[in-house]
Chain A
């Protein structure tokens, strides 16, 4: 099969109950390659996810693999499932979430093809743009492999509309590959706030916060703005906050309407994760901090005074 006229398979990211929004960005990327877009939902008791996916604009078919071995979407059985479906497709895409990054290279290796990671642009059906060196360079790469295995940087593609589609949901058979690993437990961060990668506003703290307790200042600001709370690697390394707060090259990539960096110096590894935000505000007492070189609005101030003032002013 050729890549130019094949259907496109998008692997859904979900938790058996809801479809993760990054999937809509992956569908949007798929729609730039072709028009016959199928979404694969591998899960257990995940019918509601499949129904949600069927309504996404541009989706023409939803494949539901509902079986015990997909309950926790462990990479070995999910990769085996994708592999069983690949002969019908020229492209397989997933959002570059922790699940997509886990499963897709496994699929690519089983197919003996390259993976194109974290694409930010589509030049043609076989040529893609992707950031390298923490986003300090953008490479245009071409794949001659018969099937393109791709992960998509969600922030680079505006999400497909959640409604407007009316795809049929059909069941597909499980494909084995389980038994090598099992889930023992999850500790998910519980938060009333929006998810970091989807939030309209993100408030992030760095080493300048000095302690984990001081993040309550940022939480107060985030509550005022309906924002998510993030952090630099320095703050994570210092143990102030968990790793799932991390914004940067090796953490999460965000591009909100408004990004407020508080006590963050602006290492290139951090900038890699947030420099595509629409408006960037930096609050830092060091006027030489590199973060000011990318900030639309910079406030040289002691954050312990400025942040409470800002909360009061909103």
Chain B
């Protein structure tokens, strides 16, 4: 069984975001980028399924600029078998990504598409659900546990009130939540080996997909700043402030 794992190159989660003065976006020049953390979890899960003998091949794919090669190499170093970069310098929104992924699914015929639940840059939380819809596949979003059977997947999902377990007929889309696993660090030998793994570069046009954005960003601004308040000396002073100044207790 083949698993397709899309990964996104995003501004590293430790970077302090700065909004551009002209309001067109955030500063991305000379900023550290890395793999979207939820996508790392998805790669890890797919590699574990292969190591457990449940999957035969893990194909990682990214849609983005040539620099996304690094992100794919990281996934290969974690244990993925093969990478596909669908190269574009254009802004890509979730619907366009889902369409590109659908085209790749049609080509590659995986039984599972395993994605991160959300990218930490646009915070959209859409791509997996959209891909499932375009394919007519069932979806198991926000997964904290995945068990693969012959014709079905069992997925435990993080929901607002706790957990829920569902069964999906295969093929299916799964999106990874935080507790699914702890991704490994790639070892140096594996990083070296990753350089020799198959790497294919395509374009959205070669897949016949129009990636024109549907939403226009009119402006990007900083959120209102919250001012630091005061330090209180002890618990008694805190209770006094909450009762008499803030009047919230």
Contact = CB atoms under 8 A, between A and B. Distances in A.
Interface of A: 74-76, 79, 97-99, 101-110, 112-118, 127, 131-145, 179-189, 197, 201, 225, 233, 236-237, 242-244, 246, 249-250, 252, 257-258, 268-269, 275, 278-281, 287, 292-301, 306, 309-310, 313-314
A106 B125 contact: no
Contacts of B123: 117-118, 131-134, 249
Interface centre among B161, B217, B230, by most A CB within 10 Å?
B161
Given A133-B123, A279-B246, A299-B231, A109 B98 contact: yes
B154 interface: yes
Contacts of B167: 181-182, 184
Contact of A98 (B26, B127, B139, B160): B160
B220 A138 contact: yes
Given A258-B248, A296-B246, A189 B161 contact: yes
B130 A106 contact: yes
Contacts of B17: 133-134, 136-137
B235 A106 contact: no
Interface residues of B, number: 80
Kindly list the 5 A-B residue pairs having the minimum CB-CB distance in the complex, ordered from nearest: A296-B229, A180-B138, A109-B130, A105-B129, A114-B214
A144 B168 CA distance: 35
Contacts of B19: 136-137
Contacts of A103: 129
B179 interface: yes
Contacts of A185: 164-165
A133 B11 contact: yes
A236 B222 CA distance: 29
A262 to B, nearest CB: 12
Given A109-B130, A115-B94, A144-B216, A187 B125 contact: no
Contact of B120 (A114, A134, A142, A188): A134
A112 B93 CA distance: 12
A301 B234 contact: yes
A249 B118 CA distance: 10
A141 B159 contact: no
Given A243-B177, A243-B179, A292-B228, A140 B140 contact: no
A108 B130 contact: yes
Contacts of A306: 235
B15 to A, nearest CB: 9
Given A110-B133, A138-B221, A138-B223, A101 B11 contact: no
Contact of A139 (B16, B144, B172, B217): B217
Q: Specify which of A105, A112, A197, A225 lies most central, judged by the most chain B CB atoms within 10 Å of its CB.
A: A105
A184 B166 contact: yes
B220 A181 contact: no
Interface-centre pick from A97, A104, A110, A115 (highest chain B CB count, 10 A): A115
10 contacts: A79-B133, A97-B160, A136-B16, A141-B217, A145-B214, A180-B168, A269-B13, A295-B228, A299-B238, A314-B249
